Structure 1
């Protein structure tokens, strides 16, 4: 399945958010073939979602990728947090150790410089994996089940976990019902996204379990907004400010370490 989805003609599709095959080789056992794909992490394995835009970019990839799969006549059948994975390389400009994330690849006792999702210089991408149960040309119920599974994932990991995600409620409810197709859910999502301003996208995501006073909420919101504005400054200005603040040149204003 991955080989089919990694064809050059399909890789050119911007909605193809399926893991890419880097290489493949045969095993001594004729029935076995090994494929090499990028090192991908579960979406919430290391870096939390700090601002609303972090969630929005994840939903972009998840819905575009599912729409692409269904357009190819493929039902995934295992949509879950373990099968939608993240390429975290933009978050670690110097690389990272695959087991101990805060270490550099050579495991030297130094923190690996890191960015948050929203401050990374390159957009973080999310990919579908786990195609063991994928069915080409499956029954209509299989495609609806994919949409419902993704809706439940968004509900569990975003709307139930974070405040300020109420704008997702109509989309999530429709998807969980299994009524819309992936393409219809994507169209609904893009309409919702278009109504969200830049300020709305850059708002901090409080965890619902945190008991924050309104004063603390306001202070944190202002702090995060200032950081996001600083990240949009030209690189020379950021370097001068990093020198003043004693931060390393490649450090993010938050998400460092």
Structure 2
């Protein structure tokens, strides 16, 4: 685990002059960076977590004082100024290995833990679902459990840079093994193990910065340093008994462009998940980047207005294999996100063409 740099090692942008130091100290005294109520509850779990081998960041240790006091450091480049969000999750390190983990507070009557343990019990290495490290009773609330998971990163951050990287993502995201269907799909529910991509690690809150909060991270290329993708957040998922028709109601956590969603009329769950994954491919890949038009047949079939005409996950896999067999020849082509303005698009398209010629 890296130690924070000394003031002599810090870049100028992380330091303040005397006038701004006085303002910073006043803001600090006024409580701008104080722990708010939910953060206090995590601080109150710190000793309990330490007894079980997990160390919270300095901000959440009992008796914490801001690291910038008595120095000329800018709080915005001090890791302990960052506040957590959302409130039911926290990050920590394993005391024995230094490995970063995520801690999620889950209601005892929620199916998420049971579903994840069921998936893990299948011992299917082709299923891209997050695995639980362990669970502990919440010492502050007997109605909740603390679930420990690997600390993952949003699958699309940083951006994809080549067609082959997108192909790898789709390969993994439709590989659900023996589940026979997709987990609950939403953009925030697809993550990646980015340790290979960002070997320096990143700050759990300010994810564009290094763990010490000082420098910008410098991600490597997915092409040369591949990553694994995982589905997370099964809080709204449902496990159906064998032979039961998978009917649900409601729209919480679901793709709001799906026509059949209803709060009172039951609908088939699995076609909705297919539509949601198709929407993710459409909005986050096909519409966002150049050179991904080959995804159109896939996204069109997955987002068909009639749920009965949408493919199953296995049919999606078959269709993707046909598309992939031709698209793989484009793997080396560099891609870039589409710009919002006309001139921006012209510049990006030109850069993409040049990149594909010299890459």
- Tell me the TM-score range normalised by the shorter chain: 0.7 to 0.9
Which of 88, 91, 95 is 2:194 aligned to? 88
Which residue of 2 is the match for residue 250 of structure 1? none
1:182-221 map, 5 Å: 182-198=313-329, 200-209=330-339, 210-212=344-346, 216-221=351-356
What TM-score results when the alignment is normalised by the length of structure 1?
Answer: 0.74
Which of 109, 118, 135 is 2:223 aligned to? 118
Which residue of 2 is the match for residue 180 of structure 1? 311
CA contact (8 A) 1:93 1:113 kept: no
Which of 146, 157, 160 is 1:34 aligned to? 146
Q: Which has the higher contact order (CA 8 A, sep 6+)?
A: 1
Q: 1:184 to 1:31 in 2, by over 3 A?
A: same
State the alpha-carbon separation in 2 of the partners of residues 89 and 96 from structure 1: 9
CA contact (8 A) 2:335 2:352 kept: no
Cα deviation digits, residues 130-174 of structure 1 (max 9, x gap): 111211122381111111110011111111111211111111111
1:14-33 map, 5 Å: 14-28=125-139, 29-33=141-145
Cα deviation digits, residues 211-244 of structure 1 (max 9, x gap): 2367544322223x2xxxxxxxxxxxxxxxxxxx
CA contact (8 A) 2:160 2:336 kept: no
CA contact (8 A) 1:162 1:208 kept: yes
Which of 218, 224, 236 is 1:133 aligned to? 236
SS of 2:229's partner is strand
Q: Which runs of 5+ in 1 are unaligned?
A: 226-257
Which residue of 2 is the match for residue 2 of structure 1? 116
State the alpha-carbon separation in 1 of the partners of residues 191 and 350 from structure 2: 36
Which of 278, 284, 290 is 1:163 aligned to? 290
Answer 1 or 2: which has greater helix percent.
1
Q: How many residues align?
A: 211
What TM-score results when the alignment is normalised by the length of structure 2?
Answer: 0.54
